[in-house]
Chain A
Amino acid sequence: MKKEKKGNQYIFPLVIILLFSVVCSASLGSANLTVLDSLKIIADRIPVLKNLIKTEMIPEVYTRIVWDIRMPRILFAGLTGCGLSVVGAAFQGLFRNPLADPHILGVSSGAAAGATIAMLSGIGFTIMGFGVIGVFAFLGALLTVLIVYRISCVGNKLPVVNILLTGTAISTMLSSLISLLMTFHHNQIEKVYLWTLGSFSAASWSKVVFLTIFVFVCTIVIFIFSKELDVILTGNETAESLGIDTAKIKKIIIVSASLLVAACVSVSGIIGFVGLVVPHCIRILSGPKHQKLIPLTGIGGAVFMIFCDTIARTAAAPSEIPVGVITAMLGTPYFIYLLQRNKRKQVFV
């Protein structure tokens, strides 16, 4: 059947675009390299390609810039974009709500509150390469999800309305808490504010590894339940009558998605918009089936975030524009264009 193929043909081009944007981004910056040089430097680290490539012509400092500074940052941005977009797609399906985004359950506000407390208290330590801010943010995120989850549970069930409202309420409360803390610590306002806007400037290989684990494991878990998400999208009771334990699926998706968001947010701050818009854009290509939507969204989110971060670090060099600003300013016009173009067709779900 022709229709069955819909969506799959985009995987390959998107992967090519992803690789292309990684290499391009790696060659852009204050030290301008040719695309070919940065490609060589990256390929030099890949076991099989290593022997085929000569990098002697490239100065050592360039190798260091590309491999030690730019690559971790690019991968870091890509992984965050992928994670946030996948969670957005999963939440939009699970909650049957086109406005759902990764921050809807209050995970991100929890992370921000944790980070703020760490910054203001002035404790300093590092665990396995992670600063106290990241650790507190991660714990804050997990604690918040736990609270939201406990409050919205009714018996064995987890009503969507409950969880959305509780998430929003807790989120608002935590934002107020952050504001309160900031009013008592005037001198730190800028630091806290910039953290919440999100940035990839503190990238490192250890963070990349940390994020890779979370992004891959959680994305695979969400991907496994693609068919269930499809059916849940048509209604809770319908899904149950078709043999799906919706309560169980909801829990699994919420837990893995929250872990993923917690991981992303605690190392990169709160980057909005990606998780909301990328799934909608991809859905126009892939159709509503999650088996196609989830992988495409992951790749699309990574490309989008790498693109935005490259602009964030190069457009106003040597100073940086917060990446969250770029995502919204670039994403919105494009999203509106897509909405206009597809006016007759329904964009969401």
Chain B
Amino acid sequence: MKRKWKPEESGEMKITELSWKPSKGQASILKGINCVFERGNFYGIIGPNGSGKTSLLKNIMRFVESTEGDIELDSIDLRKYKRREMAGKVSLVPQNTHMEAAFSVYDIVMMGRMPYQRRFEPDTEKDREIVLEAMRLTDCIHLKEKEVSLLSGGEAQRVAAARAIAQDTQWIILDEPISNLDVKHQAEMMNALLYLKEKKEKTIIAVLHDINIAATYCSKIVMMKDGKIYSSGKTEEVLTKENLSNVYEIAFEILENDETKRKYYVPCL
């Protein structure tokens, strides 16, 4: 199949009045979401548990049918895309990355090239290069031949990220990509994403729980509460003492380093 999409498309993701409930009769999880994701940004979605972050991603990925409202990507309704077309535009690192399969890490990352391969077509040299590059970026090249079911939680998360990077899409969506990683690998993962944003002009949308990490890496923040967007915009404008304490229902203190002017967000436990 030929690539139907053009890499230079204007591109924004526009969500209008999006509502979603899992099934009839149940309470809505998303209640009228309006938001625009612009290209070339690093978005962090933050909010307490159950605020609808993952549900929003599920709607964007079309794993579920939206109850009301529309999502447009490059000015086209998401529902009009074929899955394969979408896979050339949007990649995902899911929340649960554990895989109970005997595939090698290399095989799994190579699956990221699926949207561009014909049936029974062997992997090309270019595919291999992209896969190895993605594995290098996420520090899993040494795991290449290892079986995925034997990976630790953190390793599996990095492999899933490598697969999404190998998919080489304009949009990379990550659901808690660093939840299982140690501090070093958290920094490496976030730096890799930053590199993709800066050097490859990718757009990153990541659900994050660590406010300090979000503050350090994200250019924009979408703050959610109770299935609605509580606040969104530039990072420092959204991450105010008031917003944080309202959303998380716990007081926050913001400390500033006098030399670096970096802000630290500390919940008052």
A-side residues, CB < 8 A to B, are 3, 96, 155, 224, 227, 230-231, 233-235, 237-238, 240-245, 283, 287-289, 291, 345-346, 348-349
User: 26 A-B Cβ contacts within 8 A?
Assistant: A224-B119, A227-B114, A227-B117, A227-B119, A231-B114, A234-B101, A234-B103, A234-B148, A237-B61, A237-B63, A237-B92, A240-B83, A242-B112, A243-B84, A243-B85, A243-B114, A244-B84, A244-B87, A245-B83, A245-B84, A283-B102, A287-B102, A288-B101, A288-B103, A349-B100, A349-B102
Q: Does B177 contact A (CB under 8 A)?
A: no
Residues of chain B within 8 A of A96, CB atoms compared: 100
Q: Main secondary structure on chain A at its contact with chain B?
A: loop
What is the interface residue range for chain B against chain A?
35 or more
Residue of B90, B103, B112, B160 near A230 (CB, 8 A) is B103
Cα distance A234–B102 in the bound complex, in angstroms: 10
Residues of chain A within 8 A (CB-CB) of B150 are: 346
- Among B63, B114, B148, residue most surrounded by chain A Cβ atoms (within 10 Å): B114
**Total A-B residue pairs with C-beta atoms closer than 8 Å?**
82
Contacts of A245 in B (CB 8 A): 82-84
Given contacts A155-B65, A227-B119, A237-B94, contact A242 B87 (CB under 8 A): yes
Question: Which of A233, A242, A288 counts the most B-chain CB atoms under 10 A from its CB?
Answer: A242
Task: Enumerate chain A residues within 8 angstroms of B137, measured Cβ to Cβ.
Answer: none
**CB pair A240 B63 closer than 8 Å:** yes
In this complex, what residue of B is CB-closest to A154? B23
A291 to B65, CA, bound (A): 32
The interface residues of chain B lying within 8 Å CB-to-CB of A227 are 114, 117, 119
Given contacts A242-B111, A245-B83, contact A3 B61 (CB under 8 A): no
B56 within 8 A of A: no
Does B107 lie at the interface of the complex (its beta carbon under 8 Å from any beta carbon of A)?
yes
**A235 adjacent to B94 (CB under 8 Å):** yes
Nearest CB of B to A169, in Å: 22
Question: Bound complex: CA of A111 vs CA of B87, how far in Å?
Answer: 41
Residue B104 lies at the interface, judged by CB distance under 8 Å to chain A: yes
User: Does the CB pair A241–B87 fall under 8 Å?
Assistant: yes
Which A residues lie within 8 Å of B87 (CB)?
Answer: 241-244
Extra 16 A-B pairs, beta carbons < 8 Å, given A224-B119, A245-B82: A3-B106, A227-B119, A234-B103, A235-B99, A238-B160, A240-B63, A240-B83, A241-B90, A241-B94, A243-B84, A243-B85, A243-B88, A244-B83, A291-B120, A346-B149, A349-B101
Can you name the residue of chain B whose Cβ is closest to the Cβ of A349? B101
Bound form: Cα–Cα A79–B73 in Å: 49
A348: chain B residues within 8 A (beta carbon): 102
Query: Considering only CB atoms, which chain B residue lies closest to A284 in the complex?
Result: B102
Nearest Cβ on chain A to B103's Cβ, whole angstroms? 6
Interface membership of B51, Cβ < 8 A: no
**Nearest 7 CB-CB pairings of A with B:** A243-B87, A243-B84, A241-B92, A243-B115, A288-B102, A349-B101, A245-B83
- A50–B88 Cα distance when bound, in Å, is 55
| Contact across chains for B100 and A240 when beta carbons are under 8 A apart | no
B138 within 8 A of A: no
Query: CB < 8 Å: which of A231, A240, A345 contacts B111?
Result: A231
Q: How far is the CA of A161 from the CA of B84 in the complex (A)?
A: 26
Q: Which residues of B contact A346 (CB under 8 A)?
A: 102, 147, 149-150
Contact indicator A3/B145 (Cβ below 8 Å): yes
